[in-house]
Structure formats: C-alpha cells, structure tokens
Structure 1
Amino acid sequence: MNSSSAQATDLDSHIITTYSDIAKEGRRFNIDLVSKFLYSRGLLIELLIKSNVSRYAEFKNVTRILTFHNGKIEQVPCSRADVFASKQLSMVEKRILMKFLMHYIDFDLYTEDYKDYENSTFLEFLKSKQLTPSLQHFVLYSIAMVPETAKTIDGLKATQHFLKSLGRYGNTPFLFPMYGLGEIPQCFCRMCAVFGGLYCLHHPLECLLVDGESKLCKEVIDHRGKRIKCSYMVVEDSYLTEQICANVSYKQISRAVLITDRSVLSSESNQEISVLTFPPADEEHSAVHLTELCSSTMTCMKNTYLVHLTCTSSKTTAKEDLEPIVQQLFTLNSESQKDPKEQMDPTKPIVLWALYFNMRDSSCIPRQSYVGLPSNVYVCSGPDHSFGNDHAVQQAENIFHELYPTEEFCPPAPNPEDIICDGDCVPQEVSESSTAVDLKAEASTECRTVLESCEDAKEQEAE
C-alpha cells in the first residue's frame, strides 16, 4: 500500500468529533487554568513522596518530548536508546549529543569547561562545544527548555535537572497527575483533613480586622459577616485590593486552551502525552510551551485531545501572542462545514474549541511592594510561567518556616494502617513489642481505615 492510500485509510478510520459532541460531554473535561508537568526529581514529587500525600494521587508518564524544527514537528530523543534509534540525527550527531549529555549531567565537576562562558549565553556555550544547529536547537528548547538569552550556568542547571529526572519513572523526565493538576491541592487537603484541618467553602473574605496597638491581623470577616480568629494569615496575591498592590508592577502570562480531534504528531498509539516547545519567532517573543493530553489522563473525552499553550506575554492579549502558533499547528473548525472530512487538512488536528486568556505573574514580587499589610499577613504568588513547580514548593516552605521556625515542613505522615487510635483496638493476646503492621495483620485480614478502627473501639466501649 502506498503512502497516499495509507493516509486515506487512516482518515477514513478516524472518528470525526464535532463541537456538538464535546458540548454534550462537557463534564468529561477537566481543564486546568495552569499548565505544568511534574519533574520526576523535582521538589513537588519529592514532597509528595516524603509527606505520603502521593497515596491520594495517580500519575501518568509523559510519553513524548517534541519540538518544532525546520517547519515541522519532530520527536526529541532523550534516552540513550532513543538517541541511537533516531532517524533525525546522523551517526556523528548522535555521538556528539551523547558525549555532551553524559559529560554535563555532572557539570559542576567540570567548572573549567564553562568558566570562560559564565557571562555568555547558553547558546554561545553550545556553539563552542561544536554542537550542530539541530543539536543546539534540541538541547536549548527541548532539554534545557530555556530561552536563547539564558546564561550558561542557568542552561547547564536546567539540562542537569532534565537528565537526572530521566529514567526514574519512564523514558521522559515528566509525570502528569490523573484528572489534571487540580488534583494536587486536593491531595494535600485530604491529608490535612485527616489531622483536623478545616475548610470553609464558598466563604470569600471581605476584610481583615487589625489590632490598633499591635498592628497585627487578629480576625478575618467573610461575606456573611462571620468573624474567624487567626494568629497568621496566608493569602494569594490576587485576593489583595488595588490599593495594597498600587506599587506592584506585574508581568503577564498568555494562555490558550484547545480541544482538538487528534494529536499534533500522529503515532501508532492514540494515547500519547506530549510536550512541545515552539521557538520564538524573534527576539521580542518568547518560546511557547505546548502540552497535549490524551483521554487516558481523564482530562478529556475519548477521541479528543486537550492542548495547553503558555508563554510570557509580549503583545496586548493572549490571542495576539498565541493565535499565530495555533494557525501553524492546527486547523480551525467550523460547524457550518457540510463535510468536515473534505475540508480538513489531514496533516493538522482540528480545533473544536478554543479559549485565550491572560494571567498575571506575581512570582518575583517582593513582599515590601505591598502597601499597608500587617506583619503577620503573608503573601504567596500565583502561578509563574515556568514549566515545573519548584518555585511554588520553595515558596510554601519558606513561608512555613517563617511561621513555625522549629517545625519540620510536611513531615512524613504515618500510613492509616500504622496508626492505633485507642488501646482497646489492640487485641490482648498481642504483645506490646509487636509493630503496628504486625498488630494490624493479627487483628484483621482486611485493610481497615483509621476511622473504621476508631468506630470499632467506640462500639466496644459502649457494650
């Protein structure tokens, strides 16, 4: 079968999805307002493991790292096997790339190699190492994922972070939580609730009550007039009034969310999770990070893909920043088409739904920029433009240590089956020297939760 016949067969077998279809199945979509992945050895993954919060979440491996190079989308080889199996690189390029990556995974041991380039850009450093233009593109945009203006040390750190995350959970360094990033804060909320944390939903705050003598925030008042006492208050930047933020100068993040009918790069599997970096058109623009999620992530319905595009704003609106990229990679859909199969470009996915919006980036705003805040009110920033979550985790830890200097940040939580709530839960025939796991095994073969164990104890007391 020739290529044109194979393409036609593939087109015929593709299930056509329309806007009407996704409108009927709106509840099957989980759309994050922030687009990020989790580095396998990033601060957030380490925190989830350390605190035992990871038990509340499931993750999928990101299967492909893509880039837009020479006018087409290509898959970037990451692991040794991928590099030598790649048809995009010559044998000489493969050897140069592997030598570079293996050497600079521990770049801090070879300071003499980059000492003369510390004040130069990472791109200039890559050129000095005799990397071909294709290899420079791959390393800069798909491994380090830094702009051309990034300093050499920043590029090397980003490359090391990428390489050390490879192979921990898969062939790429990234994980994505099932049902979307919105699951991560819910996981921490569940753990907090187990230890007595309270959540008041639909209670927006109206104002703070500040003590006249101490100048500290003593209470907050919600929209119903209810007062809630507090010793400290941590608030996200967007909740503050314009008067408090009068001296703050914000950067903007441009975002686009698309629902498409197929992947930007077809493959044998229709369940690929992909990351694509679109290089900037000129010095005035920044690179665009694109993430493409399949239905197995539980963020979109079957036969569709959920696509997120993110970049630092350079134009007035997100649409001005991102629509040129969307037009290059996708075909805009119209329900008025009589026969979508005849109208579509078989090389491009169809955009069934699109949303453009801007978000402000407050990640680099110093606290002293906010006017009139009591000293026991701590401000945390909203999402930043970076690909990972390290800034948010570091910020949370810093604020926690300011509140509780002697406490450990997110200490390991015991497994529910390892907790004994009451002495009556322990069978008398079991010795005191037995471990919690042994106690559970002898008491019951079933996996009972802490709450169930406590309820059993209360019933025994009542009897």
Structure 2
Amino acid sequence: MAAVDLPSEFDVVILGTGLVESVVAAACSRVGQRVLHLDRRSYYAGNWASFTFNGLQDWIRESQEQRPPEELQDWSSLVKEGEKLMYLPHSDSASISNIEIYCFARFRPITDSSGGDGTGLRLFKPIRVHQEEDHLLLPAETWVDPPLPVCQPINFSSSLGPFLRQLMFSRGSLVDLLIKSNVSRYAEFKNVSRVLTCRERRVQQVCPHMSLSRPTNWTVFLTSGHPYRGRPYLDFLSDQQLGENLQHFLLHSIAMVTENTPTEVGLAATRHFLRCLGRYGNTPFLFPVYGLGEIPQCFCRMSAVFGGVYCLRHSVHCLLLDKDNRCKAVIDSRGQRISCGHFVVEEGHLTLDIKKVSLVTVPPITAGAPAVKMVELCSSTMTCIPGTYLVHLTCQSVGSAYQDLSPVVTRMFKTPQSHDQDAGPSVLWCLYFNMVDGSGVQVQRQDLPSNVYMCSGPDGALGHEHAISQVICILPEEEFCPPAPNPEDIIYDGDSAYSTGEDEQGEELQEGEDLKKEEADNEKTKEVDGPNDREEQKQMVESCDQGEELQ
C-alpha cells in the first residue's frame, strides 16, 4: 500500500543515516532543499551507531540471522515512458563478519518493571565489577562487589567495528564543521585525559616522557625528514639520536604508525598530533559523550529543524532512471513513487566492488601482527555503568578479529586464557567482529547514474577526514552547512522556520561567539595546564606549522 503520509517530491532522497549521509542531509536542508532521509534499520547512524548493552544484543542477533531473500517485487506499473528500473539489494552487504562473543563473568538477570505490558525488560548485572579510576594500573585484588540497585540497567555503549575510531582530533574537518554549522550545540564532549602506551606489559603515560620539548629541537626535528623520503619512519627516528623510549612514543603513540611507514607520512602524523595539543586539554583528542553514534544524530537533528523528513524502518527498493541515465525518482518499500533531483545512498545498500578516556597504543606482539589502539572509557562518558569500563580495541585486519585481538586481550587483561591470573583487570564480556574499512570502498562511476552518490562507512583513521571529504565532493557548488541560528532567533510560521536576523549579521555574531568561546576554553586550559605547559604547547604548534611550510 502506498505511503500516503510522505510527499511525492523531494530535492534529495538519502538512504542510510551514517555520518556522511547525515551531514549531507543537514547541509541540504540548511540551504532550503527538501530532504527525505530514510533508513531500513530501526536506529540511527548505521555502522557508526552506539548501543546500550541490550541494544547491542539485539544487533548481534539481527547480524547473525540468516534471512531468506525477499521476493523481488514487480514495480513496472510505476514506470513511465522512457524510464527504466534499477533495483537495489534488499539486504545489507556483508560489512560485518566474524562475530564472536565471550562472556567471562556470571550475570544475574534482573527485571525493570517499568514496562507498560507488565513483563518489563530483561536486563543483566555483572556479579563483580571494578570501582577504581586507574584500573589499567591497579592490581586485580582491588576488584570488589559494589552495592548496585536491583533494577539498574546496564547502559554499555558500543560502536560498531574495529575500524571505527571512537575519538576525534581536536583540530580537523569534523570539529571545524561542528563549530561552523552550530551543530556542536546538540552534543557534549569530554577530553581524553591521557595518552598511554604499553611496553613489556607496563602501561606508561606518553607526554611526561617527552624530553624533546624545546621549540628549537621540535622545529629541527619536524623539518629534517626530507632526505628520508620513502624510507621507514623508524630509520629516521633512530638517526635523530633519540632515546629508545622517545622513539617508541613517537612511533606508536604520537604518529600512531608502524615501523615501516614512510618518513613523510610519519612526520605528517606527528605534526598533526602536536598541532592538536592544548586546544581543549592536555591531549589532542575529544570523545563524544554517549559515543560517536551521537554525531550523525546531531546532524539529523539539524536537518529535521530545517524541514528534513525522517523515516526509520523504511527503505528504497529501486531507482527510476531517465533516458540520460539520471535518477529522476525512487520507489520506496511501500510502493510509493517519489520524485527527486539527487539520490544519496550508504555503501551497504549497493552491491559494488569493495576492498576489504584513555588512549593506549599496543605495538605488534609478534612479527606480522597489527598494532592495536585501545580506548578505555569510564562511566563519566555515559557509555557504561559506574564501576565498569568499556574498552574498544581496533586494528587493521590480518585475520579474523578474534585472531588479531585476542592475544592483546589475553596479555592486557585477565581471562581464562591468561597465563598470569593475578595481573590485570578482569574481562566480564567480550565481542569480536570484523568490519569493512570504508576508505577502501571504490565506486565505479560508470555503474551509477550521475546524480546518485554512494557514501562509505567508517574507516581506519582518526579524525574522520575521509567522511567529511565525501560530503564536500557531493555538494561542491552549495554553501556548505552555514551556521544554524540560535533557537531564540527563529520565528515559526506554520510549517516554515526562518531567522529574524540578516545572514551577514548572523555570521558576524556567530564568529564573535566562537571567538569568545575559544578564548574562554583557552583560559580554562591555561588554568589546568599552568602557564609553562600552555606556552610550550603553543610553541609546539608553531613548530608544526613551520615544519608543514618547509615540507
């Protein structure tokens, strides 16, 4: 039956609510385009999503279900003269694989009786949890039984995929866009308080060990890599007469590259790390409260404010192409024909050629093994209950997720497979799975209409630069996501909303507000860091900029 509630014409139809698609939706709605934003899932953010623990269990069940293929519907009655149909797959491509679950703790079932049907929700509570803050640095005997209330739900948040980075650099395209567009008002962030590294089962903090702190040394260091172009970054570090500890920190915890990474790539990563220091705290990283899945939802919220129409559990079955091979309309999952000027789709909905808060860096344990990034989240990030920690381990795949990551879990934590049962915090529950790296998605343009754009999912790099670059490519001629007016400046007239001030005045006011906010943040950081640390970080950033110019 046709969906009579939906309008029959939009400027842009978007399928999938991942980060790229959501930014496109916000940018289009903000400049007055009519946007229809659909997702066949029951939740926002797609492969960028964050879940409660119960929601994660549902996602695991859905991912493991073997659903029979849906019967292909005949939509020929909706085709007009000169048009042809292009069918989309009815199920997501295999972007998630090798799901394995291990439970190392006894869980006590509890019931939240708030359910209206009297049955309540089936929840679980771990028998033993940890109550200390620095749990990576504490012995196992500090683990205790906390007096948790009987009906307290577990609110673990877990983002999908070992390639998805939970953190954001404090400088970069995504942070700049959040500030410029005013979407940052919809989200909260926490500073990553420390950057750690693991050497010989010892966890060490990185920044206090960085003896290369004089600005002149940094300038020379960051600008002396030209003769080493194409050679391994480790060769360059070894020839700089640096101590073994500092070489380790620069390679694994600052540049976050491998020993064989080219020197020019390693130096660029080092410069970016140092440039991000001090903007919002002592480390270069921010974490979105509740998880990275909040960021796509923030952009969806902005799109909705400016007229975007949203439908979950709703999809597109096929495209209607004109004689010039352009998409002129779509047919949704209810059989309604919807005209559109552009169609944007998440890569999982198309069958194309796809190549497969503490930050701890764990170097490769054995030759050929990948380096592992470990992000530890406490309850203040709103991702887990008090007394527990949520730890994300990510790496580039060599084998299955279990094969790549379980040696690190066994080494860093206490599991039944650990050799030293008296060291390390205990693991309560563990999930392994592989995800396709979004940066490896290759779109064959000749296979798609010229006004159909495919968006890739999460990739293996921090900062999400690849995601934002896709949005800019989709909207090259539009004013890109101008700042939204403050709520008190919006007048609602029927179904439309507009700002009471002129655009130019709004931009000047926004720039002034941003400047005041940055100055206030700088003053707060100065109070926390102390004047010497703050001045040193400023000089480091200047050294990075000089290095960039000379390179």
Distance 1:365 1:35, change over 3 A: closer
Give the whole-Å Cα distance in 1 for the aligned partners of 2:181 and 2:149.
38
Q: What's the offset of the Cα at 1:413?
A: 1.8
* Residue equivalent to 2:159: 32
- Structure 1 window deviating more from structure 2 (384-393 vs 287-296): it is 384-393
1:131–1:11 Cα change, 3 Å: closer
Measure how far apart 1:372 and its partner are: 2.7
Please name the residue that 2:230 is paired with: 119
Asked whether the 8 Å contact 2:255–2:267 carries over to 1, the reply is yes
- AA aligned to 2:458 is P
TM-fit CA distance, 1:356:
0.5
Does 1:373 find its partner at 2:502? Answer: no
Determine whether 1:311 maps to 2:403. Answer: no
Determine if the alignment matches structure 1 residue 414 to structure 2 residue 485: yes
1:277-306: per-residue Cα shift (whole Å, max 9, x none)? 111134522211111100000001111001
Q: Secondary structure at the match of 1:332?
A: coil
Equivalent of residue 250 in structure 1, options 336, 344, 355: 355
Shift of 1:249: 4.6
Deviates more, 1:387-396 or 1:168-177: 387-396
* Matched residue type, 1:169: Y
Instruction: Give the distance between the partners of 1:229 and 1:165, measured in 2 at CA.
Output: 44
1:185 equivalent among 279, 290, 296: 296
- 1:289 partner amino acid: K
Structure 2 distance, partners of 1:348, 1:75, is 17
Tell me the amino acid that sits aligned with residue 431 of structure 2: L
Q: Distance in 2 between matches of 1:100 and 1:311?
A: 35
What TM-score do you get using the length of structure 1 for normalisation? 0.71
The residue aligned with 2:307 is 196
Deviations 1:41-72 (A, max 9, x none): 12111110011000111100101111111332
Q: Give 1:223 deviation, angstroms.
A: 2.3
1:229 deviates by: 1.9
The one-letter code sitting in structure 1 at the alignment partner of 2:308 is: G
How far did 1:146 drift?
1.3
Question: 1:400 matched to which residue of 2?
Answer: 475
**1:352-384 Cα shifts (integer Å, max 9, x gaps):** 11110010113133322x663212111111111
Q: Tell me the CA shift for residue 420 of structure 1.
A: 4.6
Q: Distance in 1 between matches of 2:214 and 2:470?
A: 35
Report 1:20-169 matches (<5 A): 26-33=153-160, 34-77=164-207, 82-83=208-209, 95-96=211-212, 98=214, 102-103=218-219, 107=222, 110=223, 113-169=224-280
1:213-232 correspondence to structure 2 within 5 Å = 213-232=323-342
Q: Aligned-pair distance for 1:309?
A: 0.7
The alpha-carbon distance between structure 1 residues 386 and 220, as it changes in their structure 2 partners (threshold 3 A), is same
The 3 A distance-change label for structure 1 pair 51 and 23 is: farther
After TM superposition, list the pairs within 5 Å mapping 1:299-448 onto structure 2.
Answer: 299-315=383-399, 317-332=400-415, 345-368=421-444, 372-401=447-476, 405=477, 407-420=478-491
Instruction: Verify the 8 A CA contact 1:276 1:289 in the aligned structure 2.
Output: yes
Of structures 1 and 2, the larger Rg is shown by: 1
Report percent identity of matched pairs.
51
Q: Which residue of 2 aligns with 1:426?
A: none
Match of 2:498 in 1: none
Shift in Å at residue 186 of structure 1?
A: 0.8
1:388 Cα deviation after fit: 2.3
Aligned to 1:254: none
Tell me the CA shift for residue 101 of structure 1: 6.6
8 A Cα contact 1:147 1:287, kept in partner: yes
TM-score using structure 2 length: 0.60
Residues 292 and 367 (structure 1), Cα distance of their counterparts in 2 relative to 1, 3 Å cut: same
Question: Which residue does the alignment assign to 1:294?
Answer: 378
Match of 2:368 among 271, 281, 284: 284
AA matched with 1:328: R
Change (3 A) 1:379 1:10: closer
Amino acid of the residue matched to residue 293 of structure 2?
G
| Cα deviation, residue 327, structure 1 | 0.3
In structure 2, distance between residues paired with 1:31 and 1:135 = 33
- Go from structure 1 to structure 2 and tell me whether the alpha carbon gap of 1:10 and 1:183 turns closer, same or farther (over 3 Å shift): same
Distance 1:101 1:221, change over 3 A: farther
1:131-168 deviation per Cα after TM superposition (whole angstroms, max 9, x unaligned):
12211110011011112221111111111111111111
Structure 2 CA distance for partners of 1:176 and 1:95, relative to 1, 3 Å? closer
Kindly tell me the number of residue pairs found equivalent between the two proteins: 355
SS of residue paired to 2:287: strand
Match of 1:260 in 2: none
Shift of 1:307: 0.6
For 1:235, the aligned partner's letter is: V
Which stretch of structure 1 is more off in the superposition, 202-211 or 347-356? Answer: 202-211
Q: Do the aligned residues in 2 keep the contact of 1:15 with 1:303 (CA within 8 Å)?
A: no
Kindly state the Cα deviation for residue 35 of structure 1 after the two structures are TM-superposed.
3.2
Deviations 1:60-104 (A, max 9, x none): 010111111133211111xxxx34xxxxxxxxxx54455687326
> Given that residues 104 and 156 in structure 1 are in contact (C-alpha distance below 8 angstroms), is that contact kept between their aligned partners in structure 2?
no
1:15 aligns with 2:115: no
Q: Is the 8 A contact 1:231 1:376 kept in 2?
A: yes
Q: Could you report, residue by residue, the CA deviation over 1:235-275 in whole angstroms, capped at 9, with x for unpaired residues?
A: 1111113xxx2xx2512xxxxxxxxxxxxxxxxxxxxx110
Higher relative contact order (CA 8 A, sep 6+): 2
Q: Distance in 1 between matches of 2:397 and 2:139?
A: 38
Equivalent-residue separation in structure 1 for 2:205 and 2:216 (angstroms): 19
Letter in 1 for 2:414: T
Conserved 8 A contact 2:226-2:264: no
- Structure 1 stretch displaced more, 66-75 or 325-334: 325-334
Partners of 2:211 and 2:157 lie apart in 1 by: 42
Structure 2: gaps spanning 5 or more residues: 1-137, 494-501, 507-551
Moved more, 381-390 or 223-232: 223-232
Counterparts of 1:22 and 1:152 in 2: how far apart (Å)? 54
Taking the aligned partners of 2:330 and 2:275, their CA distance within structure 1 comes to: 45
TM-aligned CA distance change 1:415 to 1:314, over 3 Å? same
CA contact (8 A) 2:362 2:374 kept: yes
Are 1:31 and 1:180, in contact at CA under 8 Å, matched by a contact in 2?
yes
